[in-house]
DNA sequence: AACGCTGTGAGACTCAGTATCGTACGCTTG
DNA sequence: CAAGCGTACGATACTGAGTCTCACAGCGTT
């Protein structure tokens, strides 16, 4: 958290060298030497070579968790959508670093794995939160998994687009747009008793005046998603 | 694919040693020695130490891809749901190995990362497939990402449950159940012009006879997912 | 001046992963 | 039978990540 000037310089040197020579071609010795410190010092600040690219993910995860537990949203899915903004905000905050890292990660499989692994931690956090919220309802675990993965997917999609575009616009509008999809998609799932149980379900229907009964039946069949 | 007896013995020895002493405490030398071969031979069959736990993932991915391109489903989401069965089938096929690996992966972060990374490859494959299918429609990339991640999430949820239960039941029924959720949830998204555009949309509504106009309005508001 | 604390450097060590060379075995082909 | 040939394996050396231990310098306290 409290980044010392030394660790700062190490991170900057590392990114620069990775971009110049490539990740695999840069040794920790190179980074340390160029930053004017010893190899020991590097590993004192960063537990591994790739840590220097992905710093404070733990801190960010903690922030997200705090936001979740403090949430006053009336729905789990809304709370999670709200929390995921923190993540995007973090990327936008230092866009420079995010962009450099994005280009790097795209070229180095090892870093891509690392990135994917940290995303999975957010998804897990969300899954557990939603799972607790839905506890006791039917298919709670399944719906929690679906909601969490969808929120993360929406976030990733928006983030990737923004990074590909070189961070040239405000990504929060598309994020809201994407999260609307998710919220609208899962609201009904959240209030549902079960997939086949119409319990206290409320559904809205609108047909063109010209629709024949057969048209209506076809539409209903399509919406029920009858399997082959 | 064509597993030689030597590679087979190496894999078995490795899993046994990992369970006995732990993953980090077992060196490649240990595995090779116990299997009666040299270190060189180990790396001839497996590119890395963790490869011995996750073999033929490439082959499985190819099978899934083949199934996708050969699919005759009338909807992208249905095709993907169909394809994901292959993955589950693969785990079920040698349940013994899957279960041992599951227990191991749960304890070793490095292996968990590896697992997550390979899951991400399926998700990416699905995303690209759905993206091609939806190409040209509004929010194609976003919807593709959501569908792909949901199918994968449903699969993972079912698989984890099955593994936790020690593989004691047939997981395809819960998988169908979960995929029904996904299909029913995303059908309407697939046919949608856009989130706000009611174009040729058909919606079904049902209210209890006792519902007042206000009840109806509240329900509609809730379903529209109006934000804070 | 003795003490402790903190940040740093130095060096040894383990182990994963790569590359190279040598060699034994079994196979065909003349 | 012998000469050649490919495949599988062993042996060895090397690079580099990551861990650990010790030493030392600076700096403030009492």
**A59: exposed, middle or buried (Cβ count in 10 Å: 0-12, 13-18, 19+):** exposed
Asked if residue B182 and residue B71 are part of one domain, the reply reads: yes
Is residue A206 situated within a structural domain?
no
pLDDT in tens, A162-173: 999 999 999 999
Q: What is the pLDDT of residue A29?
A: 97
Asked if residue A61 and residue A29 are part of one domain, the reply reads: no
Cβ contact B149–A150 (<8 Å): yes
Is residue A198 situated within a structural domain?
no
Whether the predicted pLDDT of A196 surpasses 50: no
Asked if residue B133 and residue B26 are part of one domain, the reply reads: no
β-bridge mates for residue B206, sequence order:
A203
Is residue A145 situated within a structural domain?
yes
Interhelix angle A109-134/A95-107, nearest 10 degrees:
110
Q: Which residue is nearest to nucleotide C9 (CA to C1')?
A: A38
Is residue A72 situated within a structural domain?
yes
Asked if residue A137 and residue A81 are part of one domain, the reply reads: yes
Return the percent helix, strand and coil in chain A, to nearest 5.
70, 0, 30
Whether the predicted pLDDT of A2 surpasses 50: no
Is residue B151 situated within a structural domain?
yes
Residue A119: CATH number of its domain: 1.10.357.10
Give the whole-angstrom CA distance, residue A97 versus residue A15: 9
Q: Is A180 within 7 A of strand C by CB distance?
A: no
DSSP state of B198: -
Q: Is B113 within 7 A of strand D by CB distance?
A: no
Is residue B228 situated within a structural domain?
no
pLDDT in tens, B169-226: 999 999 999 999 899 888 766 554 434 333 344 455 566 656 666 666 665 555 554 4
Taking CA atoms, what residue in A is nearest to B220?
A204
Chain B touched by A50 (CB under 8 Å) = no
Phi-psi category of residue B205: left, alpha or beta, with phi > 0 → left and psi -120 to 50 → alpha: beta
- Count structural domains, chain B: 2
Whether the predicted pLDDT of B105 surpasses 80: yes
CA of B105 to C1' of C23 (A): 39
Is residue B111 situated within a structural domain?
yes
Which residue, among B78, B85, B142, B196, would best test binding to A if mutated, counting the most A CBs under 10 Å from its CB? B142
Asked if residue A77 and residue A43 are part of one domain, the reply reads: no
pLDDT in tens, A137-155: 989 999 999 999 999 999 9
User: B57, B145, B143, B8: which is closest to A181 by C-alpha?
Assistant: B143
Asked if residue B133 and residue B70 are part of one domain, the reply reads: yes
Q: What is the pLDDT of residue A189?
A: 61
Residue B37: CATH number of its domain: 1.10.10.60
Chains A, B: CB contacts within 8 A come to 153
Domain that holds residue B12: 5-52
Asked if residue B66 and residue B166 are part of one domain, the reply reads: yes
Is residue A70 situated within a structural domain?
yes
Q: How many helices (H) and strands (E) does chain A have?
A: 10, 0
Asked if residue A148 and residue A93 are part of one domain, the reply reads: yes
Among the partner-chain residues A78, A182, A202, the one whose CB lies closest to the CB of B219 is A202
Asked if residue A173 and residue A61 are part of one domain, the reply reads: yes
C-alpha B195: how far from chain center: 27
pLDDT in tens, B141-152: 999 999 999 999
Asked if residue B77 and residue B152 are part of one domain, the reply reads: yes
Asked if residue B35 and residue B148 are part of one domain, the reply reads: no
Q: Looking at CA atoms only, how far is residue A36 from chain B in angstroms?
A: 31
Using only C-alpha atoms, what is the Rg of chain B? 23
pLDDT > 90 fraction of chain A, expressed in percent and rounded: 70
Asked if residue B88 and residue B111 are part of one domain, the reply reads: yes
Enter the tokens of residue B62: 């190819």
β-bridge mates for residue B203, sequence order:
A206
Taking CA atoms, what residue in B is nearest to A211?
B202
Cβ contact A204–B219 (<8 Å): yes
**Residue A207: its chain B contacts at CB < 8 A?**
202
Cβ contact B187–A222 (<8 Å): yes
């Amino acid at each position: 958290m409290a980044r010392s000037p030394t660790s700062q310089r190490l991170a900057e040197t590392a990114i620069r060298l990775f971009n110049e020579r490539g990740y695999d071609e840069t040794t920790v010795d190179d980074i340390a030497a160029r930053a004017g410190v010893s190899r020991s010092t590097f590993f004192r600040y960063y537990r591994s070579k790739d840590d220097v690219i992905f710093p404070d993910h733990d801190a960010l995860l903690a922030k997200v968790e705090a936001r979740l537990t403090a949430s006053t949203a009336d729905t789990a899915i809304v709370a999670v959508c709200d929390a995921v903004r923190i993540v995007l905000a973090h990327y936008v905050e230092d866009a420079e670093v995010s962009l450099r890292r994005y280009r790097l990660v795209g070229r180095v499989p090892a870093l891509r794995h690392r990135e994917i692994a940290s995303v999975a931690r957010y998804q897990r956090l969300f899954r557990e939160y939603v799972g607790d919220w839905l506890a006791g309802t039917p298919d709670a675990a399944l719906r929690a998994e679906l909601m969490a993965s969808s929120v993360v997917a929406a976030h990733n999609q928006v983030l990737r687009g923004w990074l590909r575009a070189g961070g040239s616009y405000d990504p929060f509008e598309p994020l809201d747009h994407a999260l609307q999809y998710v919220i609208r998609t899962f609201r009904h799932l959240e209030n549902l008793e079960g997939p086949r149980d119409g319990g206290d379900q409320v559904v809205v229907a609108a047909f063109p005046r010209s629709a024949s009964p057969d048209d209506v039946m076809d539409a209903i069949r399509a919406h029920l998603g009858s399997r082959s």
